[in-house]
Amino acid sequence: MRFLLLLLIILSLPVLAQESIVFGVHSKTAPLEWRKNGVDQGFNVELMNRIGQLTNKRIIVRRKSFQQLVKDVHNPNSDIDVIAVVSPVNLDRKLSQSDPIYATHARAYTLQGKALINNWADLVGKRVAIKIGAFVDVYLSGYPQNFERVDVDLYETGFQQLISNQVDVVIAESFVARRLLPLYPSVRSSSDALIYGDFNFVGNVKKTLLMYKINEALRQLKLSGEYDKLVNKWFGIGREKVDLTSNEQRMLSVAMLVALVCAVGMVYTGFISASLRRHTKALDAELIQRRRIEAEIFELSKQFQSVLDGIPNGVTIVNQDLQHLWSNDNNIHLLDSDEFYYVDNDVFKLKGAVLDVLSTQKSFTADMRYQQQCWQLQIHPIAADQVVILLEESTEQHHLRQANEEASRLASLGELSAGIAHEINNPTGLIVHAVALFTSAMKDLTPAARHYQKQNPFWLIAGLNPDIAIEELQYSCGSIEEGAKRISRIVNDLKRYAMPHIANEYTQVCLNDVVQVALRLTASQTKFHQITPTLCEPSPKIEGDAQQLHQVLINLIQNACHACSEQSGSIVIETHVEGDKAILSITDNGCGMDSATLTRITEPFFTTRRNEGGSGLGLSVCSKIIKEHQGEMQMLSSVGKGTRIRLTFALESQD
């Protein structure tokens, strides 16, 4: 027993006496080493074991957290001699470190579908996960950070937070990320290398000599080619170790499958191509047909547009906001003119008319006036918010209609008036003759009545005192005579209205003289009103009958006086020349006329002054006289705003 114990002690002395190197290893997914089935393995572990053999030192592997390893390597009294870390290429460490073992880099990782990170500027404002103490952390400590930094203990923690949307980007070392990506398929590499670094062995502050020996052993391995064998074993031409044989078999199977799929695809593609060629030919034929039809439609549209543009009437399509959707631009300016109004002088508002048509969905037709023209306006609904507006000048039709109506009335009234004049003239003459006899008799009987009254003081005539009775009889005779004369004048006006005039008796007449004569003859009526004659010089001259023109203007002045109040009545009489026309107009600020009155004002026997003794023949006779002079009478009037009558005659050449 003692011998065996002594033998064991002797055999164990070299082992106990052999120096060791304590190699600190990261306990979770270290870059170049890991534990599989409880056994430490990996590039760094195998490399460190080979260095131990060359330096005749035993390698002891101790697993700790990365943060603890960093603290231990800075602690002179720690039990860790060497660790493997990554250092940025542009950063010098104060600790002893070996020659570079392997180059690496760090890049940005994001979720699939997110934008790529092209440079550090793309990280501004984002939440970026950084592993505490990693070479990315060391690198960023010397640079300003324009992003929101989120510290994590492991790169895997950063990937988990990325998936749960706690961070936007993870900056991770490539070897670690490459191991993690298969575990997190929703994460992808989103940038080129942002930081470059090297793997190094870093020694404790008291292990400078040990680091020298490690470097010597590392260089010896590189020179002998054994280092390259280790790299090829664990990384395989710069990547993680792969089984090339099985990989080749898999690739061959995949290639055969791809070839089969390609063959099937070529057959299918040929079938599809033939089908597409047939469809293409059919589509080309259809396209040619459509182009031909479009050309015909375009030509027809041009012809239709030419027809619409050639229509003298205005055609416009507008919506409820009065936007012009289409127009042939003929007379469309009238719709926005202040001088475009209804024939009864009411104001026209296009907006209100369009909205009424759209709300009722019923067509609207109205007779309108613009300056001296007559127009017919039609608005028809064509959609829920669109109408078509038609404008047609109807001046000639309006005049023809008026002339036809007036001709019809004249035809009936002419025949009627001739019979009335004949029937009334005879009894009227008898009345005048009898009244003249009664008047003369009353003069002769007056002295006899007075003499008889003296003899018979109680004598009465028709129940009245003889003097009073005789006075009443004389007044009644005067009234009867005045009424008979008035009947005679009406009959003469009626005969003049019905009787044609001989135009060859006309002479040259100065309109200014007609105005002056008419004003003198109506001085007793116009003295209560403000009369303003505006006569142009030289005086316009026309061909006509001065006496008849005097009658026309006198009648118009009397009507204006009747329409105006005595306190504020104003009458303007004006003569002027427009081209080859002589114009005589009379304007008052009287009571005016409504549209119904204005329509009938020249009808025989129509009067608004029946209670004041008006016969209704004045304006009828005036209208007939003006037409006999080849003239035109236009009347504009509004209730409460006055009346303007414009007489137009052909202008005679000036001497």
Rg (CA), the chain: 62
How far apart CA 172 and CA 159 sit, in angstroms, is: 9
Q: What letter would DSSP give residue 613?
A: T
**Domain assignment present for 4:** no
Whether 132 and 213 map to the same domain: the answer is yes
Whether 276 and 137 map to the same domain: the answer is no
Whether 284 and 331 map to the same domain: the answer is no
pLDDT at 248: 58
How far apart CA 337 and CA 155 sit, in angstroms, is: 80
**Domain assignment present for 7:** no
Beta strand pairing status for 39-42 and 33-36?
Answer: antiparallel
CATH of the domain at 608: 3.30.565.10
**Domain assignment present for 3:** no
| pLDDT over threshold 90, residue 171 | yes
**Domain assignment present for 5:** no
> Domain count of the chain?
5
Whether 269 and 292 map to the same domain: the answer is yes
**Range picked from 370-374, 491-495, 503-507 for highest mean pLDDT:** 370-374
Whether 512 and 604 map to the same domain: the answer is yes
DSSP, residue by residue, 465-525: -HHHHHHHHHHHHHHHHHHHHHHHHHHHHHHHHHS---GGG-EEEEHHHHHHHHHHHTHHH
Distances 202 to 30, 47, 102, 447 between C-alpha atoms, Å: 15, 14, 14, 169
Average pLDDT over residues 337-353: 82
Q: What percentage of the chain reaches a pLDDT higher than 70?
A: 84
pLDDT at 238: 40
The pLDDT confidence band at residue 519, using thresholds 50, 70 and 90, is confident
Q: Which residue has the higher pLDDT, 377 or 313?
A: 377
Question: Which residues have a Cβ under 8 Å from the Cβ of 474 and sit 6 or more positions away?
Answer: 439, 442
CATH of the domain at 149: 3.40.190.290
The answer to whether 571 and 529 have CB atoms below 8 angstroms apart is yes
Question: Which residues have a Cβ under 8 Å from the Cβ of 156 and sit 6 or more positions away?
Answer: 28, 29, 180, 183
Domain finish residue from 393, 417, 436: 393
**Domain assignment present for 107:** yes
How far apart CA 617 and CA 604 sit, in angstroms, is: 5
Residue from 498, 644, 503, 512 nearest 570 by CA: 644
Average pLDDT over residues 226-248: 62
Span of 198-212, 293-307, 482-496 with lowest mean pLDDT: 482-496
Average pLDDT over residues 274-296: 88
**Range picked from 38-47, 256-265, 328-337, 598-607 for highest mean pLDDT:** 256-265
Residue from 490, 466, 467, 486 nearest 478 by CA: 486
Average pLDDT over residues 217-237: 83
Q: In this structure, what are the phi and psi dihedrals at residue 357, rounded to the nearest 5 degrees?
A: -65, -45
Give the number of C-alpha atoms closer than 13 A to the C-alpha of residue 310, restricted to the C-beta side.
6
The pLDDT confidence band at residue 16, using thresholds 50, 70 and 90, is very low
Domain finish residue from 377, 393, 409: 393
pLDDT at 188: 92
531-537 long-range Cβ contacts below 8 angstroms, 24+ apart: 531/571, 531/573, 532/570, 532/571, 532/572, 532/573, 533/572, 533/573, 533/574, 534/572, 534/573, 534/574, 534/575, 535/511, 535/573, 535/574, 535/575, 536/512, 536/575, 536/576, 536/577, 537/512
Whether 388 and 467 map to the same domain: the answer is no
Q: Which residue has the higher pLDDT, 95 or 375?
A: 375
pLDDT at 574: 92
Mean pLDDT of the chain: 80
**Range picked from 152-166, 340-354, 458-472, 558-572 for highest mean pLDDT:** 152-166
Whether 547 and 448 map to the same domain: the answer is no
Range 603-616 burial, b when 16+ CB lie within 10 A, else e: bbebbbeeeeeebb
How far apart CA 466 and CA 471 sit, in angstroms, is: 8
Whether 91 and 230 map to the same domain: the answer is yes
Beta strand pairing status for 364-370 and 20-26?
Answer: unpaired
Burial class of residue 12 in the structure, from the number of CB atoms within 10 Å of its CB (0-12 exposed, 13-18 middle, 19+ buried): exposed
Span of 86-90, 370-374, 522-526, 548-552 with lowest mean pLDDT: 86-90
Q: What are 378-401's pLDDT values in tens digits? A: 899 987 888 888 888 877 777 777
**Domain assignment present for 416:** yes
Whether 441 and 488 map to the same domain: the answer is yes
Residue from 361, 341, 475, 490 nearest 428 by CA: 490
**Range picked from 95-99, 157-161, 493-497 for highest mean pLDDT:** 157-161
| pLDDT over threshold 70, residue 260 | yes
Beta strand pairing status for 102-111 and 148-152?
Answer: unpaired
| pLDDT over threshold 90, residue 159 | yes
**Domain assignment present for 358:** yes
Residue from 302, 327, 308 nearest 317 by CA: 327
| Residues spanned by the domain of 282 | 243-310
How far apart CA 324 and CA 476 sit, in angstroms, is: 74
First to last CA, the chain: 172
Question: Which residues have a Cβ under 8 Å from the Cβ of 370 and sit 6 or more positions away?
Answer: 334, 337, 339, 340
Q: Which residue has the higher pLDDT, 250 or 206?
A: 206
Domain finish residue from 369, 393, 417: 393
Q: In this structure, what are the phi and psi dihedrals at residue 100, rounded to the nearest 5 degrees?
A: -60, 135
Average pLDDT over residues 347-364: 86
Whether 22 and 67 map to the same domain: the answer is yes
Q: What letter would DSSP give residue 364?
A: E
Distances 620 to 343, 395, 604, 606, 635 between C-alpha atoms, Å: 21, 22, 5, 9, 13
Whether 215 and 340 map to the same domain: the answer is no
Q: In this structure, what are the phi and psi dihedrals at residue 62, rounded to the nearest 5 degrees?
A: -125, 130
**Domain assignment present for 10:** no
With tokens 């009227």, the residue in question is 428
pLDDT at 612: 61
Span of 117-126, 409-418, 620-629 with lowest mean pLDDT: 409-418
Q: Which residue has the higher pLDDT, 280 or 494?
A: 280
Q: Which residue has the higher pLDDT, 408 or 139?
A: 139
How far apart CA 575 and CA 515 sit, in angstroms, is: 9
pLDDT at 6: 44
Q: Which spans in 164-243 are helix H?
A: 174-180, 208-224, 226-234
The pLDDT confidence band at residue 7, using thresholds 50, 70 and 90, is very low
Q: What are 503-515's pLDDT values in tens digits? A: 457 888 898 888 8
The gap from C-alpha 96 to its chain's centroid, in whole angstroms, comes to 76
The answer to whether 85 and 166 have CB atoms below 8 angstroms apart is no
Residue from 533, 512, 540 nearest 587 by CA: 533
The pLDDT confidence band at residue 9, using thresholds 50, 70 and 90, is very low
The pLDDT confidence band at residue 161, using thresholds 50, 70 and 90, is very high
CATH of the domain at 352: 3.30.450.20
Give the number of C-alpha atoms closer than 13 A to the C-alpha of residue 642, restricted to the C-beta side.
15
The answer to whether 89 and 105 have CB atoms below 8 angstroms apart is no
The answer to whether 454 and 388 have CB atoms below 8 angstroms apart is no
What pTM value is reported for the model?
Answer: 0.35
pLDDT at 5: 44
Whether 404 and 379 map to the same domain: the answer is no
Span of 238-242, 256-260, 339-343, 474-478 with lowest mean pLDDT: 238-242
| pLDDT over threshold 70, residue 208 | yes
The pLDDT confidence band at residue 348, using thresholds 50, 70 and 90, is confident
How far apart CA 129 and CA 593 sit, in angstroms, is: 92
The gap from C-alpha 597 to its chain's centroid, in whole angstroms, comes to 46
Burial class of residue 252 in the structure, from the number of CB atoms within 10 Å of its CB (0-12 exposed, 13-18 middle, 19+ buried): exposed
